[in-house]
Amino acid sequence: MNDQTQPATVRVFIALAPPDHAKEELARELRPAYDTHPRMRWNRIEDWHITLAFLGELPVETVPLLRTPLADLAADRRPLCLALRGSGNFDDRVLWSGIDGDLDELRMLAADVRTVVKNCGVAVADRPLRPHLTLARARRGDRSSVGEIAEELVGFTGRPWTTERLHLVGSNVGRSRGPIHYRDIEAWALGDRNPTEA
């Protein structure tokens, strides 16, 4: 069998990404934790994102069906003003930074993204949106590191920033024993609709 064979499925989600300056600001706050908790599985800074809809493993041929409807949605939506703020954890295993700013609009965007996805025939979970940026995961048996780091970050408030693009993202989960890496399948500018086109 040829190792270069293209996979039949890809793990997909739809997200917003903070700009580099916002990620760098948070990374500076995290620097002491990188040193004091080296066994944490830290996400790569370039992969930090705010998930709007997680689609899971999709057949590769399904992904193109999402492109035009998501492009249209992005074009019709104004950019949002968001900021990274505070920290917390899920189940003492997952460390996250919170999101502040236009949260009502963020929730509406996520709901509309999920509607678009369902209209394309792709199932998506109807869990309520909990806006966050996943930073790291603790290794098995480590029940204290995540809480300790979250406590240090609880007062963090980043400078506001404006969302620029809606991202359709794929990951290599299930195909590699190394760290998870994400790549844009495509991304569309928010609010890019020319009024004369509407």
pLDDT in tens, 102-119: 999 999 999 999 999 999
Alpha-carbon distance of 6 to 95, in angstroms, equals 33
The radius of gyration of the chain's CA atoms, rounded to the nearest angstrom, is: 18
> What pLDDT score was predicted for residue 128?
87
Annotated catalytic residue within 21, 37, 49, 167: 49
Q: What is residue 127's predicted lDDT score, i.e. its pLDDT? A: 84
What is the per-residue pLDDT for 198? 42
pLDDT of residue 196: 43
Mean pLDDT of 33-37: 95
List pLDDT tens digits, range 55-69.
999 999 999 999 999
> Which of the residues 21, 37, 132, 167 is marked catalytic?
132
Whole-number Å distance between alpha carbons of 188 and 181: 20
**pLDDT at residue number 50:** 97
Average pLDDT of the chain to the nearest whole number: 90
DSSP class of residue 7 equals P
Q: At residue 168, does pLDDT exceed 80?
A: yes
Q: How far is CA 161 from the centre of its chain?
A: 16
Is 132 marked active-site?
yes
b or e along 25-37 (b: 16 or more beta carbons within 10 Å of the residue's beta carbon)?
Answer: bbeebbeebeeeb
Range from 25-34, 166-175, 185-194 carrying the lowest mean pLDDT? 166-175
